[in-house]
Structure 1
Amino acid sequence: MPLALDHYRTLGRSGLKVSPVCLGTMTFGTDWGWGADEATSRSLFDRYVEAGGNFVDTADLYVSGRSEEMLGRFIADRQLRDRIVLATKFSYNADPGNPNAGGNGRKNMLRALDGSLRRLQTDYVDLLWLHAWDLHTPVEEVLRAFDALVRSGRVRYVGLSDVPAWYMTRLQTLADAHQLERIIALQPEYSLVERTIEREHVPAARALGIGITPWSPLASGFLTGKYTRGVASAGRLETTKGSGNPAFEKFTDRNWAILDTVRAVASEVGTTPARVALAWVLTRPGVSSVLGGATRVEQLEDNLAALSLTLTTEHVHRLDAVSALPAAHPYSFFEPLMQGMINGGVSVQGFPDA
């Protein structure tokens, strides 16, 4: 069924209503050697809002705070603070050599939020994300700090981005047990070339009432089809190649095979590879909203057009097959063969939300 930006969805098991495509703003600013200048970034924001979008995502890390600064100006200039669902993140270090200027401890959480509110020109954010697990801070400390921030009014809702599934599950379970603020959303990397979260994160999020808002659904532009195997390009993935950041290491034989199928489906449907890749993510179980970033208005328009694209069952099966996760223990025990041995060879239909 075709969607639109103003066909809002609740974010997880909450009353917060968001557009099915969230405007990602990691591309707001050119200080990292790629991205969009301020004039273009403003045009992207304006077009998104005018199309009915209300969910905008940033982070203190993005372009060293410049993304937040620009976004704060754009929202203030159009007096849209009450309309926009504004999300930002914390975790990454802002002062090399100072371990307490990064991580997820209460000290850094409060420091980071103070800076984000100042740059965003607001006294609250609608959603505060923990950007990445820091390996050290106890879950209980994060949970108590989150709860205090919501009670203070400076944060409306809280979420997690790049964390292990067990961490998310433990935090949510403790929140429920002690009647503290629950996590309403998870923001992991998820696309046709990165489906790892389907093993643990997706079923856990669905069971716990956590809405999934994937980042990089186009694999940092790889799935737009602008890259060609063996041909150098000026795109972001060429600029960042060899950086050590796995989010930008997409030129693999497996991924090229996936892109070939995406291109074939796009040709058959009469659309673009980007729309096909986004349409696939938009309909995945547990997904509430998908982050769409762009450096040109034309790219944003292409992303939004994915909302009106309905893939056939046959096309989805082809995309699923070419991008399927490799077999791994213990997940092979959850496949039909082994489950048949458990169920005595008969068919068992589980509860729809299981």
Structure 2
Amino acid sequence: MDIYGSNKPMVDIGRRTSRPPGLSTSDVGILRSTILPSLSLHTGFSVASFIAAKATDRAELKDFAWPSSQVANAWWSAIGRHICHDGVSFCAVWKALPWTEKVLLSSVTIWGLRLFCRIVSRSLARGKDDPRYTELKAKDPGFWKSAFLNLFLPEAVFLTFITLPFTLPFRMGSTTPSCLDLSSEAAGAIRAMGVALFGAGFALESMADCQLELHRLERTDLCRHGVWSIVRHPNYLGDTLVHISFAVMNVANSFNPVVLLGPIANYVYLRVVGGDAQNEPSQEERYKSQDPHKYAQLQTWRREKNSFWPSLSELANPWTWVVYASGLVAVVVEEGFREWAMQ
């Protein structure tokens, strides 16, 4: 009799991985079990978003797939594939997950849903394509001929690696045992560290978006107050902390060093491919030709504040401590939920 109350071969969840009939543990590698399925899923989202974007001439629909495909991949890896392939119920799969993996899956979901709602609401309020993509289309008359290979597909590749911290632990637990042997106290402390990082990053990202929207309703200059007084791109810094937290949570459970590729890939994307690497040059070009006042503010802001990582002087910034306190609150909330769930 297995954990689901049937006489079928046991299907391991969480720290262990289910295996299709005829496939032994030694046959399953990270490429086959995790990377290729993730690439297929994210490519599917990219194809769908490209078709919709081209039909509506709004390339920003690509951004809709960024958080939604990550959440979908996490839930499919942790829950969906067991329901579809192994014929078990949602409740049985959820119950079998270790607490740390429940926290990990919940964190990914909370982060992804908030970001998705933010992107959609911003798009609806704007009523037209994002200025970044409008500029690209204006510069390249054949934009749509190369957009899939140049913009949509590369994101699918990046997302395949970015999602490793919340796909690999659900898919390869038993085939790649943790390289760490931690006591329950040490694992709990590391999980709390991950939760604190998530809480701080999530709060920073959320406050940055909220404060920017409120600022735009009242003024037309650059937003440089609130968490925007810490760095020039607090939303991207918050996103980075969130993805680092996913890797840290892995350390508390079935850690595989490969998951470190997740936050690294996310950071490279934000700093080199998209994020502030794409956003700030676009702002500078638009402001220089359309809004000299904002352009002057941007130049001053660049001299005063770092782009991504805060300087040590920001320890005197009260908003830095608001972000820090948010991380502590997240730890208290998670511990409260854990005690309630264990009763």
> TM-score with structure 1 length normalisation?
0.24
TM-score of the superposed pair, with normalisation by structure 2: 0.24
- Choose between structure 1 and 2: higher helix proportion: 2
Larger Rg: 2
Higher strand share: 1
State the structure with bigger RCO (CA 8 A, min sep 6), 1 or 2.
2
